[in-house]
């Protein structure tokens, strides 16, 4: 047996401050917002009230040179017949294939349900625009070609009422990107393509934030616990315990780690679980502590090296309703919490994270996954870009995405454009730069599932440049 000595590099890991600025909206819920006594309609009223001004301002600029100078109509039911005007309201998609609550109940109670569909759009879908006064149908080639409109988007429409009482759409307008605070000494380089090549040697003072999603600890592959083995390799790489000198140099410059949901694999119900559920009302899948033990052991090593932020995902032990509340720190044990909140922070989903003045906003993927189901388009990166243009990260909530019935505010409204906008648990890695008309500049990142791809995404907090690392077990075949 031969022993290979890997050279180590003495590096000082950068420590960027993490702050919770008061101007960031909080996704942590008090007792009032956790109540279900309010009507969900309040969310739509609040959303429209919040974003109406931004849409009206954008519409006035966009249509200022339209012949006849169309005027703003304050209510959708007051649109003008045979006269061009514009109105602001909330999109509602009337979709025959949209799932209903009875199907969800059927799944919960093991009733026979139709096979799941990947998409729910159809040629029979109808576009509506509504506000407090009522609802009007939108027609025309312009609206029918808009492949990424979903229920809950606030927008303005230019057009006129036709003989059928429908609104003939001539053009659309959205709030566009929210204002953005400066990044400081940013030297952003926009490069075509999905990834960027970064010369680490030329920026000795730069700091990187690592983002990963879909660890899926507890996954069992054809060669055994391949998911857990890949996670252990990930921990060793981030802590600088494996790789060559170049790898260790790069890992030493990672100042923070963000884990964007689905850290643990969801337990699967088996035929035995079904039999048990018929006998015992609360019976569920067999429980094992092994995945959590593996996860906490890895987190313990990680938090000794750098601060870790973890968002819950749909398969993690957290409530399914958005915004998902942070997983209790106590469940990770004393070894993970030994250095306090500066070393480990259990975040909400979605979450705002400020690292050294670089503002991160991200989710574990549920809002984008839900949007995908109700549009004909396949371009998930464009969907993520659109949420920034709409100034809303989860427009389909509460229509088809579970959320709390907020009464006074809609927490999913994007009031400030982030510098980095990430979406977890996506089919593949994608990234792009989205620029606004007022100089806003946001790095948009789709994070793939680490358990399937082995991809770690690094973001430079000074330049917003991106680098991807791929950790491959190379287990071969049995």
pLDDT in tens, 39-50: 888 899 999 999
The answer to whether residue 451 scores a pLDDT higher than 50 is yes
Is residue 449 classed as helix, strand or coil in its secondary structure?
strand
The answer to whether the beta carbons of residues 336 and 294 sit under 8 Å apart is no
**Alpha-carbon span 135 to 48, nearest angstrom:** 14
DSSP 352: E
Look up tokens 């000082």; give the residue.
12
| Alpha helix stretches (DSSP H) within 199-269 | 226-238, 245-251
Is residue 311 classed as helix, strand or coil in its secondary structure?
strand
Look up tokens 């999913």; give the residue.
412
Q: Which position has the higher pLDDT, 200 or 291? A: 291
Share of the chain above pLDDT 90, in %: 61
Specify the pLDDT at position 99: 81
Is the bond leading into 211 cis (omega within 30 degrees of zero)? no
- Phi, psi (deg, nearest 5) at residue 310: -130, 125
Domains delineated in the chain? 18-30+179-470 (3.60.21.50), 41-173 (2.40.50.430)
Instruction: Give the N- to C-terminal CA distance of the chain in Å, as an integer.
Output: 22
pLDDT in tens, 307-330: 999 999 999 999 999 999 999 988
Average pLDDT over residues 88-98: 95
CA angle 387, 388, 392 (to 5 degrees): 55
**Is the model's pTM score more than 0.85?**
yes
pLDDT in tens, 57-69: 999 999 999 998 9
């Amino acid at each position: 047996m031969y022993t290979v000595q890997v050279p180590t590099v003495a590096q000082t890991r950068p420590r960027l401050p993490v702050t919770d600025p008061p101007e960031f909206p909080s996704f942590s819920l008090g007792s009032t917002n956790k109540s279900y006594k309010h009507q969900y309609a309040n969310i739509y009223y609040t959303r429209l009230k919040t974003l109406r001004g931004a849409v009206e301002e954008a519409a006035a600029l966009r249509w200022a040179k339209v012949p006849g100078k169309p005027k703003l109509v304050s209510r959708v039911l007051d649109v003008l017949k045979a006269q061009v005007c514009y109105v602001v309201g909330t999109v509602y998609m009337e979709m025959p294939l949209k799932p209903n609550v009875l199907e969800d109940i059927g799944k919960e109670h093991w009733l026979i349900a139709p096979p799941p569909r990947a998409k729910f759009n159809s040629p029979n879908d109808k576009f509506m625009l509504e506000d407090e006064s009522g609802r009007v149908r939108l027609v025309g080639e312009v609206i029918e070609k808009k492949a990424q409109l979903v229920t809950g988007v606030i927008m303005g429409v230019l057009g006129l009422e036709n003989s059928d009482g429908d609104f003939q759409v001539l053009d659309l307008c959205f709030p566009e990107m929210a204002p953005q605070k400066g990044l400081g000494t940013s030297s952003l380089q926009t490069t075509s393509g999905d990834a960027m090549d970064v010369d680490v040697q030329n920026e000795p003072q730069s700091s990187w934030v690592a983002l990963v999603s879909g660890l899926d600890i507890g996954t069992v592959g054809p060669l055994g616990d391949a998911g857990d083995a890949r996670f252990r390799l990930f921990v060793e790489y981030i802590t600088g315990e494996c790789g060559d000198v170049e790898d260790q140099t790069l890992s030493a410059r990672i100042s923070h780690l963000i884990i964007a949901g689905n850290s643990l694999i969801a337990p699967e119900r088996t035929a035995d679980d079904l039999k048990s559920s018929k006998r015992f009302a609360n019976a569920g899948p067999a429980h094992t502590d092994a995945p959590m033990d593996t996860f906490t052991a890895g987190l313990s090593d990680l938090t000794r090296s750098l601060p870790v932020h973890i968002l819950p995902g749909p398969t993690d032990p957290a409530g399914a309703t958005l915004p998902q509340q942070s997983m209790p720190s106590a469940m990770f044990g004393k070894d993970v919490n030994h250095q306090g909140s500066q070393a480990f922070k259990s975040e909400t989903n979605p979450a705002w994270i400020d690292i050294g003045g670089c503002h991160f906003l991200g989710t574990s993927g549920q809002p984008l996954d839900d949007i995908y189901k109700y549009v004909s388009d396949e371009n998930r990166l464009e969907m993520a870009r659109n949420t920034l243009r709409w100034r809303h990260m989860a427009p389909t909530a509460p229509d088809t995405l579970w959320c709390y019935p907020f009464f006074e505010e809609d927490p999913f409204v994007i009031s400030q454009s982030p510098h980095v906008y990430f979406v977890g648990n996506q089919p593949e890695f994608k990234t792009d730069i989205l620029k606004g008309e007022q100089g806003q500049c946001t790095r948009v990142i789709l994070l793939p599932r680490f358990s399937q791809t082995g991809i770690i995404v690094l973001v430079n907090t000074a330049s917003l440049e991106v680098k991807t690392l791929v950790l491959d077990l190379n287990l071969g075949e049995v």
